[in-house]
Chains A and B, each alone.
Chain A
């Protein structure tokens, strides 16, 4: 079995028990990446030397009888917008490639290292995270390990695909409008977008600061929980990070779901999707005996406001480069950033006011329900280079932009969401979103654990990894 095909818990247990060493695990993971990355293009940089150094550090701790951490020796990758000491943070761009190497690790990377995990590389993404497909013009597209002619989703496509292909058991990604959940669904893995402010963004290249989150990918619920527990908690260096103490989820996994009120979303979240995506959500609902339906009011307006905030903040962040060197941008993002720069400020402020209003409506929904289910994406992975528009339920939609139709209203309001991979969903992977009230991640993990135990969701290593 390849190293990446083994789970994080299994690897960490083996390292702590000295059945294997972190150095052996890292060497095997690097060999997996060497063998398959050419076909998939998940990694833009492999941190071989660092991986060996960090693995040796873990092995020393084990040899000395000290605690190497819950993720001892577990290889992981990080989307290339996370700072990694000694490596230039690309954020998917050619422009940032000219910058000096980062001085220190991003907080999330450092947290996983403290937990014993071993970074093996930096992963491909859409330029400046502005996309849902990881068809990066500068660094090439990341290919879906289930069908290499199709996209991996984005913008954290390299991170999701690397986990799906079994190159690593864990990855870090970021999510502004769906950039963890969309690739998790299209690649058939678990992805968690925590509550806004639950995980520090320090050392992460921002896209739209009002909406940016970071979170993990994994191929099992327990691996995802262990990783999230290593990541969550206050960080005074990130002004958006909540002061609320960490609330570990790993210990909640076996609590069951009998006391949870679970409902399936209808209305906005049950249309403009291919039947298979809606069937997947219904199937998960049936498995959980969720007969109730709930509507999240004004989700369409929420998505629209998220688009305006994203376009405005993203354009402002890159305005200087848009003026000085537009030719160095990815053609797939440049003109969208430009249009965002031309939006009136009044619309941006109104969008932020609408966000505050919408937050109250969503809080009201969660007074009567604990977890809501809905599809993650409206369809499976489109082909790489797919036409700009496609027909869904008789309506023409943007092939790429519409991938976020069900994810962006939720990141807009900052609630925690996990995308779970539905077992045997069809020829392509499909995901279902589990949504809870702010800081109630533990409920998501309890539901996901039940679904995984019942075989309703699963993330086997993809078969077309090359």
Chain B
């Protein structure tokens, strides 16, 4: 997650989920995704105890 995401990678990922993205904004989306992944690295590398459950609680 340390390398910037490329326009080609965005195009491939978007195709996988069926999300059309115009060629002229692929680089912009790549920049946005790079920023999100950089933010994610801040907490994804942070070790949590295994017994920490996700915050939302489902009430049946």
Contact = CB atoms under 8 A, between A and B. Distances in A.
Given A304-B39, A342-B13, A352-B56, A357 B48 contact: yes
Given A335-B32, A339-B32, A342-B13, A356 B43 contact: no
What band does the interface of chain B fall in when counting residues whose beta carbon is under 8 Å from A? 20 to 34
B21 A338 contact: yes
Contacts, number: 92
Contacts of B23: none
A213 to B, nearest CB: 15
A301 interface: yes
Contact of A356 (B20, B29, B55): B55
A20 interface: no
Contacts of B28: 335
A145 B42 CA distance: 38
Nearest to A347: B40
Contacts of A359: 55
Given A341-B19, A356-B54, A304 B10 contact: no
B53 to A, nearest CB: 6
Given A336-B32, A356-B55, A342 B14 contact: yes
B36 A339 contact: yes
A351 interface: yes
B36 A322 contact: no
Given A322-B19, A339-B33, A342-B10, A305 B43 contact: yes
A307 B52 CA distance: 20
B31 to A, nearest CB: 8
Interface residues of A, number: 35
A342 B46 contact: no
A301 B19 contact: no
B32 A338 contact: yes
A444 B46 CA distance: 32
B22 to A, nearest CB: 8
Contacts of B55: 210, 352-353, 355-356, 359
B14 A349 contact: no
Interface string B5-24: 00000100110011111100
A355 B28 CA distance: 29
Given A323-B18, A342-B14, A357-B48, A350 B43 contact: yes
Given A301-B46, A357-B52, A338 B40 contact: no
Nearest to A354: B43
B36 A308 contact: yes
Contacts of A298: 46
A210 B42 contact: no
Interface in A338-369: 338-343, 347, 349-357, 359
A307 B54 contact: no
A239 B32 CA distance: 32
B54 to A, nearest CB: 4
B40 A356 contact: no
A326 interface: yes
Given A353-B53, A356-B55, A338 B19 contact: yes
Contacts of B36: 307-308, 311, 339-340, 343
A326 B26 CA distance: 13
Contacts of B20: 323, 326
> Which of B25, B36, B37 gathers most chain A CB within 10 Å?
B36
A323 B56 contact: no
A304 B43 contact: yes
A102 interface: no
Contact of A308 (B25, B32, B39): B39
Nearest to A210: B56
19 contacts: A300-B42, A301-B46, A304-B39, A304-B41, A305-B43, A307-B36, A326-B20, A326-B22, A335-B28, A339-B36, A341-B19, A342-B10, A342-B19, A349-B54, A350-B43, A352-B56, A353-B54, A354-B43, A356-B55
Given A322-B19, A335-B25, 20 more contacts: A210-B55, A298-B46, A304-B42, A305-B43, A308-B39, A308-B40, A335-B32, A339-B32, A342-B13, A342-B33, A343-B36, A343-B40, A350-B44, A353-B48, A353-B54, A354-B43, A355-B54, A356-B52, A356-B53, A357-B49
Interface of A: 210, 239, 298, 300-305, 307-308, 311, 319, 322-323, 326, 335-336, 338-343, 347, 349-357, 359
